[in-house]
Amino acid sequence: MKIGVPREIKDHEYRVGLVPSSVAELTRRGHAVLVEHGAGAGIGFADADYAAAGAEIVERASRVWAEAEMVVKVKEPLADERRQLKSHQVLFTYLHLAPDAPQTRDLVESGAACIAYETVTSPSGGLPLLTPMSEVAGRLAPQVGAHCLEKAQGGRGVLLGGVPGVPPADVLVLGGGVAGTHAATIAIGMGAEVTVVDRSAEVLRRLSAQFGDRVRTVFSTRDAIEQLVARADLVIGAVLVPGAAAPKLVTRSMLATMKPGAVMVDIAIDQGGCFETSRPTTHSAPTFVVDGIVHYCVANMPGAVARTSTFALNNVTLPFVLALADKGWRRALADDPHLRSGLNVAAGQVTCAPVAEAHGLAYRPAETLLA
């Protein structure tokens, strides 16, 4: 198979779909790999590193999109990229289609087989290709939240960990999954007072066992969130409904009860965000203010630490890339029900139920399409 790796074009996105060691694994198996010039420069890999791994370096992304049978990326294809996608191609990347009707429409019209990292499952029911980026985003959230709390950034002027004689900041984490757990880990390490809210009693027990009295756990209800938001200095939204749009847990009316200059970091923004007032931002312009509350809603948070993120992502995507290349996408998906869960769009049809429901489109199970 011929695999293509274009340079990412989203704002300040320096991650890359394949690192040279991953390319070497593919070329050793007889596959051809096209890598766009400069694709790995943002994380310290020169074109020569890819060439040494057996890749062919091409000057323009248009050639990658024209010749590749499978395109491996990190972020969802932007409009210009989607126009180049063809019906015989496989796209393997993060898609986050539920909140993105234009992308969904374009992918359906392309006829391509579009496999989303974020809906590939594991035998234990987890999301193995989403997990490493959730870990990164979770660990980043208290860090960027602490920066946004600085007065010069529009925040309250509060130090997350406080100092002797001055209490630390109050951090509220909505969601105790992978991202929420890692956010709590870092916030605790920075000395903050941390509360985690979740609807699963099992998750709350796990958090209590993991952190002991260093974190407060609260069962999620509307009333509980209203009370906790009002006293928080930093709110981190880390709620995930696999494949679906994130629920809006913090409403516009709740902002009026918050401390002026408080900060909200929405990790769930890729799936539409879990704050009613959220809208996607970029690393170039990461924040905006609504009713005196600073919002950080960067849609590619892990791109800020691109080298760490790229290696973490390649560690989990490579086995699936190899399977797709070795077997072809139809056989690879037929053989592996967990990879099959990643198929969101193929042959002009939506094969992910939450995406179809979000956009009022017909749903066709991947199993029937493959049959």
- DSSP string of 141-210, one letter each residue: HHHHHHHHTSGGGTS----TT-BTTBPPPEEEEE--SHHHHHHHHHHHHTT-EEEEEES-HHHHHHHHHH
The catalytic position among 96, 182, 295, 338 is 96
pTM summary value: 0.93
Q: What does the alpha-carbon distance between residue 169 and residue 55 come to, in Å, rounded to a whole number?
A: 49
Cβ-contact 35, 55 below 8 angstroms: yes
User: Order of strands across the sheet with 349-350?
Assistant: 56-58, 32-36, 2-5, 70-72, 90-93, 113-116, 343-346, 349-350
**Residue 241: CB atoms within 10 Å:** 14
Question: Percentage of the chain with pLDDT > 90?
Answer: 98
Cβ-contact 184, 212 below 8 angstroms: no
Q: Which of 103, 136, 133 is nearest to 120 (CA)?
A: 133
Cβ-contact 239, 270 below 8 angstroms: no
Confidence of residue 242 (pLDDT cuts 50, 70, 90): confident
pLDDT in tens, 4-32: 999 999 999 999 999 999 999 999 999 99
The catalytic position among 106, 170, 198, 270 is 270
Q: Is 270 a catalytic residue?
A: yes
Confidence of residue 3 (pLDDT cuts 50, 70, 90): very high
Cβ-contact 280, 272 below 8 angstroms: no
Question: Percentage of the chain with pLDDT > 70?
Answer: 100
**Tokens 């690879």, residue?**
332
pLDDT in tens, 195-208: 999 999 999 999 99
Give ∠ CA 241-369-362 in degrees, rounded to 5: 55
Q: Is 295 a catalytic residue?
A: no
Q: Which helix (H) or strand (E) holds 57?
A: strand 56-58
Biggest alpha carbon–alpha carbon distance for the chain: 67
**Residue 319: CB atoms within 10 Å:** 13
Cβ-contact 217, 201 below 8 angstroms: no
User: What pLDDT is recorded for position 149?
Assistant: 98
Mean pLDDT of the chain: 97
Q: Is the model's pLDDT at 243 over the cut of 90?
A: no
Q: What does the alpha-carbon distance between residue 263 and residue 341 come to, in Å, rounded to a whole number?
A: 35
Identify the three-state secondary structure at position 59: coil
Sign of CA dihedral 299, 300, 305, 309: positive
Q: Which of 131, 135, 142, 7 is nearest to 63 (CA)?
A: 7
pLDDT in tens, 78-122: 999 999 999 999 999 999 999 999 999 999 999 999 999 999 999
User: What pLDDT is recorded for position 343?
Assistant: 98
